[in-house]
Structure 1
Amino acid sequence: MDTWLSVLQALLTPQGGWSVEFFVRVILSVALLYILVIFIARGFGARTFASFTSFDFLINVAAGSLVASSIMGRNLTEGVLALLCLALLQWATSFLSARSQRFHDVVDNPPVVLIEYGQYREAVMRRARVSRQSLEQQLRSQGISDVAQVRLAVLESGGSVSVVQGTETGHPGTYPRRAD
């Protein structure tokens, strides 16, 4: 029992022990990084911390890790510089992606057509690792009770499923450029 208590105490005690300096350091780190994140989001645009693409998602995870490491670390400067560099890289990537289709294709997942004219595209669904059950759940959540109502269901680059209803023939104007 003594071993358990000593391990628990070690887990709950910050390195260097509890002190006023510890609390001030954590509070100031959080406040400064909070202000920095607001500055980055406002300065580099809303997309900086939004999850639109797989690349944006990775940036968000890395930014969260940097902020946490900076708050708990001894020196705030490295974390601030790393976070600014990360935001700048994300801005440059989105800037280039918006201007070059070739660059966009390198850094982002293409959309994938999962259902076309009421027919499941089973081989495509397997490659995209989307089960029929999860796709049907997405359809139900959008008020679709019969796959025959679906003109097009697309797995978007951000992971959501977009559905176009109708039975008209021909591709809609928003048909993905790279469907498979």
Structure 2
Amino acid sequence: MKDLFFKNWESLYHILICGTIAYLSLFIFIKISGKRTLAKLNAFDFVVSVTLGSILSSIILLKVSIAEGLTGLFIIISLQYLLAFLAKKSDTMEKVINSTPSLLFYNGKFLNDALQKELITKEEVYAEIRSYKIEKIEDVRAVVLELNGDMTVVKKSDVLNKKTSLKDIIKE
């Protein structure tokens, strides 16, 4: 109970030094690797961000040494960069690494197979439509589950004067 609020000055000093070094190192790694490292473009990118945070906290709280933690940060960022590079260079790797958007609702109809596959309920789709401030379901052309897990609602008025196909909506 005695150590609950304060252990000693030495442990605070270690956390101050390790936290500063870890934070600055992560900043440098991210600057070198580019904006993609912290982008949440898909589920994998989100997991990378969470993993980086976990490693950083382990370093700051002295659960691992600075060298071990920085090695972990370097490995995660390097692998994320490598997979993004491979996905960009190869259509096959793109399909393996990234999912594709899923059309959940189109022209007044729920696509039940897609809802089941993605484990999305109609109520969740309705909630997303409401978040777009759309009052009538008839005003919705499509609802797409994006790569990053967000839903995009396409209003009929957005595509009224265009001949828009399913492929065009999924690519928007």
The question of a shared fold, defined as TM-score above 0.5 by the shorter chain, is answered with: yes
Aligned to 1:107: 97
- 1:162 aligned counterpart, secondary structure: strand
- The CA RMSD over aligned residues, in Å, is 2.1
Q: Determine which structure has more spread, i.e. the larger CA radius of gyration.
A: 1
Alignment-derived partner of residue 5 in structure 1: none
Any unmatched runs of 5+ in structure 2?
Answer: none
Counterpart for residue 15 of structure 2: 26
Structure 2 letter corresponding to 1:65: S
Q: Which amino acid aligns with 2:42?
A: T
* Corresponding residue for residue 31 of structure 2: 42
Runs of at least 5 residues in structure 1 that lack an aligned partner in the other structure: 1-7
How far off is 1:173 after superposition? 5.7
The corresponding residue for 2:109 is: 119
The count of corresponding residues between Structure 1 and Structure 2 is 166
Amino acid at match of 2:86: L
TM-score by length of 1: 0.83
Residue identity opposite 2:101 in structure 1 = P
- Where do 4+ consecutive residues of structure 1 move more than 4 Å? 167-170
Paired AA for residue 130 in structure 1 = I
TM-score normalised per structure 2:
0.86
Deviations 1:12-57 (A, max 9, x none): 268xxx2322111100111111111211221111120121111101
Shift of 1:174: 3.0
SS of the counterpart of 1:114?
A: strand
